[in-house]
Amino acid sequence: MSLSKETLETIEKTLPAVAQAGTSFTSHFYKRMFSNNPQLLNVFNQANQRKGRQQKALFDLVAVSATCVLKGEKIPQSVIDTVANKHCALNVLPEQYSIVGENILGTIAELLTDDAKVLAAWKELYGVLSGLLIGEEKKLYDAAEKQFGGWRGARDFVVVQKVKQSDNVTMFSFAPKDGKIPLASFEPGQYITVWPKPKDHIQPRHYSLTFPSSTTYNICVRKIEDGLVSTYLHDKLNVGDEIKLSPPFGNYTMTNAEDLWTKDVPIVLISAGIGMTPVISILDALRSKAKHSKIFWFHSAKNSKQHPFSSYLIQLGELNNHFTRRVWFTQALEEDKVGNIDDNIAPFHFKGRIDLSKVKDILVDTKDAHFFVCGPVEFMKNISKQLTDLSVPEEQKHFEIYGPSEKI
């Protein structure tokens, strides 16, 4: 990333002011942008806007980019990959970057300073960052469109199956309206994006793909009490209904983690709640890979009524000696009987939240293991700390975050 000396000096002087403004800066930016460009309300997740998650994610990206520039370092590729994949899933166009850039500069002028030199410096920084993302996104768009069965943008699909998996989780299967199959393949851990219109605006959402098929895409959706889209999907979207989908994207894959499909290293999958969906996709693919002699599944659910695919997982535990399964229930029901902690097919093994110290004995000789974690952000932060306490190197920890990226 090459910027002029004058630009670097200006950014260094003004970055503290941007940092002090914090998410009030990005909140002002989004309010300004939506006011000037209301069509973008059909692209951005309004729930994340209300909760401040999107504002924080943008602020973090700006801060990381500026800090890397000042240190003469490259922006981490993992950051670029994550943002680019989510942008492609939302079909972000190169021309939309100019809208974002215009409103970032407008926010600086309105909140901090309208000094032409400062605005020029931040415009140059944004130009370099947007150029990196546009270039990476072009590669992803081209790959998605050119692969067999692929496409770009939103495509019409039909709901062909809707099956309840637990009290609060339903699996949806989508087939292409035009009947053209096979569908583009996906890496275990990737997601598709659905484009429903539950109220005034289209509200795209990413959902992890489960159980690969050449004729359908399958996702599991947890109904959230105040979830606009999840409630709409559960209550309004039925078999025979049409909905648009984006092609598969996402960098939470074993291919991106040192191509682990080809290496015989232990794989540990850790999930909570609906966070099981991307890791169950990885597990389903792993179980046919003879090279992986040790696979672990550690999962946290409220109770048996909110644990989808439990029968499938118990069956795997019964049939595969190389697969170790341990389950925690945070709110076990009276009928939920805890099983022997050495029993691979017990309904569940521990009460409370996941505590890796309880399974240290079965993680012996797993210093080369890679850990794939998905669940609520606070859950993942807790697991990350536990893994650090177990001396797991950062490069062997992999996290999938629903919604805007956050630091784990």
Q: What is the mean pLDDT of residues 87-106?
A: 96
Nearest to 163 by CA among 218, 215, 214: 218
- 160-166's contacts with Cβ under 8 Å and 24+ in sequence apart are 160/216, 160/239, 161/216, 161/239, 162/237, 162/238, 162/239, 165/220, 165/308, 165/309, 166/305, 166/306, 166/307, 166/308
pLDDT on residue 305: 96
- Tell me, yes or no, whether 390 lies in a domain: yes
- Tell me, yes or no, whether 362 lies in a domain: yes
How confident is residue 403, by pLDDT bands cut at 50, 70 and 90?
Answer: low
- 314 pairs with which residues across the strands? none
CA distances 184 to 6, 42, 175, Å, are 47, 25, 12
Q: What is the mean pLDDT of residues 230-234?
A: 97
pLDDT on residue 315: 86
pLDDT tens digits for range 240-295: 999 999 999 999 988 877 778 778 889 999 999 999 999 999 988 887 665 667 89
The active-site residue out of 97, 141, 217, 252 is 97
How confident is residue 97, by pLDDT bands cut at 50, 70 and 90?
Answer: very high
Among 202, 224, 249, the domain boundary falls at 249
Query: What is the token pair recorded at 251?
Result: 């960098």
Q: What is the mean pLDDT of residues 87-108?
A: 95
pLDDT on residue 1: 58
pLDDT on residue 292: 65
13 shares its domain with 112 = yes
Among 146, 179, 206, the domain boundary falls at 146
pLDDT mean across residues, the chain:
92
Query: Over 90: is that where the pLDDT of 182 sits?
Result: yes
142 shares its domain with 160 = no
Lowest mean per-residue pLDDT among 20-34, 179-193, 392-406: 392-406
- Tell me, yes or no, whether 164 lies in a domain: yes
Domain that holds residue 73: 5-146
The answer to whether the CB of 160 falls within 8 A of the CB of 175 is yes
Query: Over 90: is that where the pLDDT of 10 sits?
Result: yes
Q: How far apart are CA 66 and CA 71, in angstroms?
A: 9
Peptide bond into 182 cis (omega under 30): yes
Q: What is the mean pLDDT of residues 296-319?
A: 91
Domain count of the chain?
A: 3
pLDDT on residue 290: 53
Q: What is the mean pLDDT of residues 187-208?
A: 95
Distance of alpha carbon 149 from its chain centroid, rounded?
23
Q: How many CB atoms lie within 10 A of CB 7?
A: 19
What CATH number does the domain containing 24 carry?
1.10.490.10
Q: What is the mean pLDDT of residues 296-302?
A: 96
Q: Is the dihedral of CA 120, 121, 122, 123 positive or negative?
A: positive
pLDDT on residue 408: 74
Query: Over 80: is that where the pLDDT of 320 sits?
Result: no
324 shares its domain with 379 = yes
pLDDT on residue 253: 87
Collect all residues with Cβ–Cβ distance below 8 Å to 357 and sequence separation of at least 6: 386
284 shares its domain with 169 = no
218 shares its domain with 322 = no
Known catalytic residue: 97? Answer: yes
Known catalytic residue: 137? Answer: yes
- Tell me, yes or no, whether 333 lies in a domain: yes
Query: Over 80: is that where the pLDDT of 407 sits?
Result: no
Q: What is the mean pLDDT of residues 3-21?
A: 92
Query: Over 60: is that where the pLDDT of 399 sits?
Result: yes
pLDDT tens digits for range 53-96: 888 888 888 888 889 988 989 998 988 999 999 999 999 999 99
Among 87, 122, 146, the domain boundary falls at 146
Query: Over 90: is that where the pLDDT of 29 sits?
Result: yes
Q: How far apart are CA 71 and CA 257, in angstroms?
A: 26
**pTM of the model as a whole:** 0.92
pLDDT on residue 300: 97
- Tell me, yes or no, whether 241 lies in a domain: yes
13 shares its domain with 133 = yes
402 vs 219: which has the higher pLDDT: 219
How confident is residue 393, by pLDDT bands cut at 50, 70 and 90?
Answer: very high
72 shares its domain with 203 = no
pLDDT on residue 149: 96
pLDDT tens digits for range 344-376: 889 999 999 999 999 988 888 778 999 999 999
Collect all residues with Cβ–Cβ distance below 8 Å to 377 and sequence separation of at least 6: 401, 406, 408
What CATH number does the domain containing 194 carry?
2.40.30.10
- 194 pairs with which residues across the strands? 205, 245
236 shares its domain with 343 = no
pLDDT on residue 51: 82
- Tell me, yes or no, whether 86 lies in a domain: yes
The active-site residue out of 124, 136, 137, 187 is 137
- Tell me, yes or no, whether 408 lies in a domain: no
237 shares its domain with 347 = no
